Amino acid sequence: MIIEFEATEFGVHEEPDYITCGASNTESDKDQHYFFLQRSFDENGWDDGKIYFEIDYKENGNYEIVTKCILNGNLFDIRLRKGCNAGIEKILVILPNRSDEIKDFANGLKKLFYNNNILRVI
């Protein structure tokens, strides 16, 4: 199954022990969607590298299910491992075309996916 939505808000939130990147369309009158990716750090830097992903409901969240992410301009394409998350295998998110925020989002994703071969920014 593919979920596609146009985000009305997106961004990066960073604390000393974790970083989160996400988007939602809660300001829209269409079917409501959100996603977020999260990675934790410890006192020595990154944790074991496991990335948490959640789409729409906590029940759809888990670690190590993201296989590929591509940020191409304002289109964010997320691929999930087959057989998990209620059959969801692909999420396409159209981000608001705000270049400075997209640049910040890309930098947050690069930090979140540090030392993983999952993210590609075009």
Q: What is the DSSP letter of 113?
A: T
3 state DSSP class of 76? strand
Please state the domain extents for the chain.
2-116
Indicate the pTM of the whole model: 0.88
- Label the pairing between strands 66-72 and 45-46: unpaired
Q: State pLDDT tens for residues 4-31.
A: 999 999 999 999 889 999 999 988 788 8
What's the pLDDT score for residue 104? 96
What's the pLDDT score for residue 42? 72
Q: State pLDDT tens for residues 38-88.
A: 998 776 666 666 899 999 988 888 899 999 999 999 999 999 988 666 788
CA–CA dist 112, 87 (Å, integer): 25
Q: Read off the amino acid at residue 98.
A: R
